Amino acid sequence: MKPNKQRALDRLARIEGQVRGIARMVEEDRYCVDILSQTAAVHSALMGVERMLLENHARHCVEAAIASGEPDEQRAKFYELIALLQKTQLQGRT
């Protein structure tokens, strides 16, 4: 995670600011379409962070398990990755 850690933290800080902005919009009774536009932007930004984290997991954790030559570790990381992908895909549909 180290190579992308600062990128992830920067993106999450930006998303945090966007969420605070959305809360202010709700408090100020802003136009619903404007608020929904901002929530869509936050959703998209979170999906970007999620993609980055999944890619990092595959490139480092799963790759290390493959290189280890340990079948149990390889199998565990493979199933872990499949579960993560299924979870993220299901969340994207709701």
Query: pLDDT tens, 3-62?
Result: 688 999 999 999 999 999 999 999 999 999 999 999 999 999 999 999 998 888 888 888
Domains in the chain: ranges and CATH: 2-93 (1.20.58.1000)
Q: What confidence score (pLDDT) does residue 58 get?
A: 87
Which amino acid makes up residue 40? Answer: A
68: its two tokens = 């280890």
pTM for this entry: 0.77
Nearest-angstrom CA–CA distance, 2 and 24: 34
C-alpha closest to that of 1 among 74, 52, 68: 52
